[in-house]
A and B are shown apart, each in its own frame.
Chain A
Amino acid sequence: MTILGIDLGTTNSAAAIWRDGAAVLVPNRLGDTLTPSAVSIDDGGRVLVGLAARERQASHPAATVTAFKRFMGTQREVKLAGQTFTPEELSALVLRSLKEDAEAFLGAPVTEAVITVPAYFNDKQRKATRRAGELAGLKVERLINEPTAAALAYGIHNLDAETRFLVFDLGGGTFDVSILEIFDGIIEVRSSTGDNRLGGEDFNEVLVGLLRKQFAAAWGPATRDNDALYQRLREAAERGRRALTTGNSATLSVVWRDTPYTLDVTTEDFETAAADLLTRLRDPVLRALRDSDIRPDSLSEIILIGGATRMPLVRRTVARMFGRFPNAQINPDEAVALGAAVQAGLKARDAALKEVVLTDVCPYSLGVDIVRQLPGGGVEEGVFSPIIERNTAVPVSRVNRYETVRANQNKVVFGIYQGEARRVVDNVRIGQIEVAMPRGPAGQPVDCRFTYDINGLLEVDIHIPANDQRHQLVITDPEDVVAPAEIERRRSALAALKVHPRDGEANRAALARAERCWQDFLGDKRDHVGELIAQFQAALETQDMRIVERAREGLAEALDQLEGPGYL
């Protein structure tokens, strides 16, 4: 039984498998290795996933959604053409599409998967991801951190040398930094930090902001919340950002209410506008270095992964940070999926990976809230006391001793938190345990043990030495406890959604792109696109595979000439 390695990204997703001692990417129904993380509902109420869905983003904003990974672990719901979806369900649709592709590729059913998550995903976000896998009909064998996966993909070929390297993972929506060390065949994650609300999309927002600022007078304040305009702007920003990757300037052009607006942006403009984002890139790097206790000059490689690291802007910032240029040999889009496949191989005890041991860390501190007694009598409430400090190798079990504050205190309440802030209000609350105390003077000891296993499950064990009582709690958020029946119900609801057959997917993607172009252009160009669409539809009518294929290639070529090559 093959375990599928899946990189569930903000912008694009990919799948890979471990086969014959190597990780192999799974091509999707369009023959690409990347599948855009986009879901759209077409006029017939049928679900589109992938490129076809993403092409509809600008033309059908109300029926299309992307970047939903950013809302994982929250209660936010998305309404698409009258239907309501949770971020988990949307992720499940993407996962299901990847699963089908893998099944087609392997010719065998796939039921198990290793899914990657940003290292800095918190407990809720991880659990949501796990549920998404279950909804897609995949047993999630392991959630693995994205930078760890990328490092695995890189490190598996460099096992012999003793190396230390930093993985700089700037994805579409999340930013992770991991520092790894390889020695004697051991891949050890030394530290992992990040910012789970920073990514390429934020750079797009910068360009969108520039456009809005430029044309604020023309568009007026009413367009501030106009989703259709926003999606056009985002599309233009994405294209502009890609143009800036290769050139020194780009022209952002957008058609709104049949009026074209264009704005020339140079690399310098972009860098100035994105200065804040670039600063935010630095703190996690610092933290990771400090936690790993590794000197920056002893790092043998800086590995950039994640699509957003293609931006010269980001590469320059990294170069400035480390005083050297990062490694550019790794394909930033595919490394994570490949790493997930390696992990799948490890999990399956593949012979080629027998000698490899991976130790990962818990990327955030876990602890309880305490009342801190200030020297001399005052107290400070709501102070975070970490029990498992961040970047401790997992599995791990740690115990801290706490004392009662008052004489005859009759109970102790441990609020369980995750995060790095000194005060618990700024951290994420993940549970609570309350224990009764026997009568006695202030300062009675209470031992609190946290056990964090390799799957990220936290167990809290309280021991009161005074009466030798023990209390146990496995952290499960009330909202996280979803009954199996409920999962089953939601899975069948997703299964009942009408989906287009796999075969026609390429044609729909091409048509969606052409329709978007028709909206984006004016005058002669628009007419031209209209003609192209008519021709392509005529070709589709013939139902002759070869004719259709030729027509599709012709259409793609024509559109490439008009707006530059398509992208993933």
Chain B
Amino acid sequence: MNGSIWGILGVAAGSDRDTVRRAYARKLRVTNPEDDPQGFMALREAYEAALEQLRWAEEDANFDAEDAENGNGTATDRDISGELPPGTVVFTRDSGPKPGDFSPETVLSPELAAFRSRRAADEADLLARQQALIAALDAPWAPDADALLGLFHAVLAAPLLTEIAVRARIEAWLAEVIANNIPRADPLVRPAVDHFGWEEQASHGRSHAIYAVLQRLEEGIFAAEAARPHAPLHLGWQSLTTPSHADWRMRLGALLPGRPAEAAAILAAVDNGLPGVRDWLNPQAELWWRYFGSRARITAGNLLLAPLAFVGLALFVIAIDAPWIVLYAAALVALAAPVAAVRLVKQPQRDWADAPWDHPDWHFTGWILALAVLPVIAFAVPVTPIGVALLALAALLALAWVTIALPLRDEIKPWERIGGIIRTAWPFGILFAMGTSLLSATNMALWSVMTVALVIGWWRGGDTITDAVGRRIRRFGLPILVALVCAVMVTALVLTGEMPARAAVLPVYLALSPAAILLYVANRLVPEGRIKLLLAVGWLMIFLALFATLGRAAPRREAAPERPVSAPSLAANGIGDTAPGLTPATPRSPVDGWINVDDYAPAAFARPGFYTQTLALGIDTAGRVTACRTLRASANALIDGASCAAVTSRARLNPARGRDGAPVASTFTMVIVWAVPAGVKASRASTPSLRDIAPPPPSLAAPLKPLSPITDWVKAGDYPAGAMADDRDYAISFELDVAATGRASACRITASSGSAVVDRTTCDAAKRRARFTLARNAAGEAVAGRYGARLAWSVVPAPRAVPAMPASKPLAADRTVPDATLSSPPPLLPAGDSAPKPD
């Protein structure tokens, strides 16, 4: 390389400046830029490279010389005295033009005399300002930023600085002073760079000191950027700048997604190119993170922490009394998730070793975990208004988080951000809409949580996944995706036989695909800029339309009852014996799960009516049933005979425990109530459906529906003491007039329970508490109506072991709907499975 440079110029390598210049001038005559641009370019390049080499060689020599003589006193001290460090300062004051240098005729002018005297004063003034700045920087105490800036600007404001040569000298001097006083001179870095325009200066003209100051500026910008909340490296910055805590707290903090990676990125920056950033870091925290980063990322401790978290989750699920299946699922996930996560990541990681750019971020694991865990929570949370509201709140918070945490850039435009969110979230929107349209209310909560989990996971999964999916989508084109969704939905409708009823959505689907294609083409054609937002809005509209039709296309849940209403229904409950010092036995699984309709001969349900049977169970220390005796028989021998066998084989209880906590044998009283509605066929194999027995009245699009179970209308506490004195069933039929407000306006007894007090109390309570979703006629208008219901109280004798407590087995009601406005009344409905206990 060097050889060619000198060769082109035709001089010996390392020749001095003058030789090089003369050689260049000589060659230039031959290779004139007008005639031989290529030759000129080569010559010029060689010439500049040679000059640059000479310059650096000179500077290096000066630097060495300075180092050698720089035993005592700093360079800045000498600067002031007018003696400059050789090499670094190009312009020297002494060599500047002096008034005396002017030609004789100009010396005589009075203007010049004034000029000279003013200049001398200005020179003294400038020196004083320089000394003040140096004094502030050398002071033993930490310099005050404002005071320092003031002194800095005072130097810049010196009148002598109008002189170019002086200004150049001061510029070099200031660069030297700032570079030598980092970090004390930090407040001056930015103002100095801005004032002298060092950033815009051609790089070949910069001195060592200016390089150092620019480097410091870069470090300062890095630190300021990382210290900004929500900035890309802020988490890592926080953990590196705050004093370190106990090891376990640090390690817990390291579990936060992104924190170790960000800390590592900052440390990498410190090691490669920005060493001065260390001035901002906490030394202990830096040490800790370096140690942490030097070890394998997933440690045994981390792996253990994950199952621990899941155990906590399982405990939570138990505490809220979830079904046993959920407990098992949670436990399984708790055990499997970390293993699966490690497997899922380790294997692809080996594959990715060949093509590292297709490698998702480590946050990818977070996505998998969220996917596995959140559905479990969704199952576990009871479907109550509060539960759903909590889920919705969680979903909103998560979305807000995703929105806020989207990578922030200074120059990001708002519409870009909105566009980014739309681009990121739309696949989940489709998922969400498909899910909610096809699933019941319970699973809707699940879906919403899952969707949010996916959004979060997607985002945390980093850009790689989005890019990968985006690439595929770009390849196929969004319109094909839209068409695909439409096709899937149409197919689903055809398969479920809903198509004829939902024919109206077909044209929407047909129209959406061309619209998507149009938008796609437009997207390709329009240039970048604000108009892209319009297109994003267009896409949003298409997807909204898609969602809306998805909702309408789905089978209506309220139209299709979830179970055949006329099957025999069961209510069962039980209570363990209580005795002083004895903890009663409790069922491990719901009591009504111990028996089912298949335990009985079909003929047992031949006749409609209520069959109440009370059993006394003997429980051993293991919680198993050892003996079963009928305390009170129902009027149905087929039922009475079969119950004991079923209960004995299935019932599992937590045994009663004595004072010492040891399990003891005990008894358990259990009540079984079968409600057999009219019209049940003997054969359960062909349980009749609602439609067969009584097709819904065609004039009503939606029937009158109670908002709460009928059994919630009355409570045991409503009845005066002694209202139900006899050990018998109190069955009451009544009818409510439902006003347009959805409340009952009147109540009539249609079949008495045999007790006037019970009748009246029941009617009053029902009238007070009943709320309805109003019936709608074909035109969609709400209509008032009448609602018939039947409730039955069943009073059982107090169990032997607890004579003090007049426990009674509640029985739910059934109800009829003899609405006079309907052409044919809906059939009997089975009752709920819980009922109040009278005092």
Contacts and interface: CB of A to CB of B under 8 A. Distances in A.
Contacts of B221: 374
Contact of A291 (B40, B205, B356, B471): B205
Nearest to A317: B162
Contacts of B29: 185, 355, 357
B164 A442 contact: no
Contact of B232 (A320, A346, A359, A378): A378
B266 interface: yes
B627 interface: no
Interface stretch (A17-25, A81-89, A293-301): A293-301
A26 B225 CA distance: 62
B464 A290 contact: no
Contact of A376 (B101, B222, B355): B222
A395 interface: yes
A277 B343 CA distance: 71
Interface string B5-44: 0000000000000000110111011001110010011001
Nearest to A142: B34
Interface in B196-211: 197, 199-205
Interface in A486-516: none
A289 B232 contact: no
Contacts, number: 151
Given A359-B28, A375-B269, A376-B233, A323 B96 contact: yes
Contacts of B28: 186, 357, 359
Contacts of B101: 324
Contact of A395 (B33, B90, B115, B272): B33
Interface string B374-413: 0000000000000000000000000000000000011100
B162 A295 contact: no
A347 B203 CA distance: 34
A297 B165 contact: yes
A394 B33 contact: yes
Which of B231, B356, B357 gathers the greatest number of chain A CB atoms within 10 Å? Answer: B357
B273 A375 contact: yes
B265 interface: yes
Nearest to B31: A357
B805 interface: no
Nearest to B359: A407
Interface in A339-385: 346-347, 355, 357, 359, 374-382
Contact of B268 (A185, A376, A378, A406): A376
Contacts of B740: none
Given A395-B33, A422-B199, A378 B96 contact: no
Interface string B752-768: 00000000000000000
B202 A321 contact: no
A466 interface: no
Given A378-B233, A407-B464, A454-B34, A321 B106 contact: no
B169 to A, nearest CB: 10
B233 A407 contact: no
Interface residues of A, number: 55
Interface in B105-157: 106, 115, 119
Contact of A374 (B225, B355, B463): B225
A565 interface: no
B91 A290 contact: no
B274 interface: yes
Given A389-B202, A441-B356, A297 B226 contact: no
A183 B202 contact: no
A325 B109 CA distance: 12
Contacts of A293: 90, 205
Given A297-B165, A407-B464, A325 B106 contact: yes
A560 interface: no
A229 to B, nearest CB: 36
B770 to A, nearest CB: 62
B471 to A, nearest CB: 7
Contacts of B266: 376
A446 to B, nearest CB: 16
B324 interface: no
A319 B162 CA distance: 10
Contacts of A396: 41, 44
Interface in B589-615: none
Given A290-B201, A376-B222, A320 B168 contact: no
Contacts of A320: 162-163
B358 interface: yes
B202 A390 contact: yes
A393 interface: yes
Interface string B263-301: 001101100111000000000000000000000000000
Interface residues of B, number: 67
Contacts of B37: 395, 453-454
A322 B163 contact: yes
Given A321-B162, A408-B471, A454-B34, A379 B409 contact: yes
Interface string A102-120: 0000000000000000000
Given A286-B164, A393-B44, A394-B33, A184 B26 contact: yes
Contacts of A406: 463, 467
Given A289-B168, A396-B44, A184 B467 contact: no
A307 to B, nearest CB: 23
B414 interface: no
B417 interface: no
Interface string A302-322: 000000000000000001111
Nearest to B237: A376
Given A374-B222, A379-B409, A408-B467, A322 B41 contact: no
Given A291-B202, A375-B269, A454-B34, A324 B233 contact: no
Contacts of A291: 202, 205
A291 B95 CA distance: 20
Interface string B349-366: 000000111100000000
A420 interface: yes
Nearest to A347: B34
Contacts of B316: none
A91 interface: no
B102 interface: yes
A126 B233 CA distance: 46
Given A376-B269, A454-B34, A324 B102 contact: yes
Contacts of B97: 296-297, 322-324
A224 interface: no
A211 B265 CA distance: 62
A564 interface: no
B163 A323 contact: yes
B167 interface: yes
B464 A186 contact: no
A375 B410 CA distance: 16
Nearest to A325: B106
A396 B412 CA distance: 36
Contacts of B409: 378-381
A280 interface: no
A422 B232 CA distance: 22
Contact of B226 (A325, A376, A453): A376
A186 to B, nearest CB: 5
A394 B40 CA distance: 9
B189 to A, nearest CB: 16
Nearest to A287: B197
Contact of A407 (B165, B202, B467): B467
Given A377-B233, A390-B202, 9 more contacts: A184-B26, A186-B24, A286-B164, A295-B90, A295-B91, A297-B95, A324-B102, A379-B409, A420-B200
22 contacts: A184-B21, A186-B24, A186-B25, A282-B162, A287-B197, A291-B202, A293-B205, A295-B165, A295-B168, A296-B97, A323-B97, A346-B34, A355-B29, A376-B222, A381-B409, A389-B202, A393-B48, A395-B41, A407-B357, A407-B358, A420-B200, A422-B199
Closest 7 CB pairs of A and B: A441-B357, A407-B357, A375-B269, A184-B25, A376-B265, A376-B269, A395-B37
